[in-house]
């Protein structure tokens, strides 16, 4: 048996995580969180320190003559200026840049559960 994490929704529509023993093949994927506005995305980065990780990755890539690093740098710069941030797209982007993230900030936790929790906090941000 494996420890299985499943996602559901409570009466308020908030995601609820359940851990049980079982087979992971029968679980639905976690629900897609709400998209974040640029303001909320920036809040998420700044409140968690991930803005510093982003800056470290940018510094690593900036000015490189390596075509892969040039492309990653351009994508990184453009992505920060998106009009809306979609969780699944953000996680795919993190996955594509994972090698650069690890090189620039080896202790940064950009795992799906961590980003999902930070995202949920950012969904609630108002000022």
At residue 92, the pLDDT reads 95
At residue 11, the pLDDT reads 64
Question: Mapping DSSP to helix (H, G, I), strand (E, B) and coil, where does residue 119 land?
Answer: helix
At residue 31, the pLDDT reads 86
At residue 58, the pLDDT reads 96
At residue 9, the pLDDT reads 59
Positions in the chain short of pLDDT 70: 1-27
At residue 86, the pLDDT reads 96
Residue 26 C-alpha from the chain's centroid? 25
End-to-end CA distance of the chain: 46
At residue 30, the pLDDT reads 78
Whole-angstrom Cα distance, residue 119 to residue 126? 14
Secondary structure E strands in 10-124: 15-22
Backbone angles phi, psi at 16, to 5 degrees: -130, 130
pLDDT in tens, 65-97: 999 999 999 999 999 899 999 999 999 999 999
């Amino acid at each position: 048996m494996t420890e299985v994490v499943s996602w559901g929704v409570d009466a308020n529509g908030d995601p609820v995580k359940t851990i049980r023993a079982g087979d992971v093949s029968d679980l639905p994927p976690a629900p897609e969180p709400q998209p974040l506005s640029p303001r909320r995305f920036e809040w998420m980065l700044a409140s968690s320190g991930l803005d510093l990780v982003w800056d470290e990755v940018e510094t690593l890539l900036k000015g490189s003559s390596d075509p892969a690093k040039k492309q990653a740098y351009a994508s990184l710069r453009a992505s920060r200026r998106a009009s809306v941030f979609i969780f699944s797209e953000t996680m795919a982007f993190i996955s594509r840049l994972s090698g650069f993230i690890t090189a620039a900030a080896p202790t940064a936790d950009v795992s799906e559960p961590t980003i999902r929790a930070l995202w949920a906090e950012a969904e609630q941000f108002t000022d």
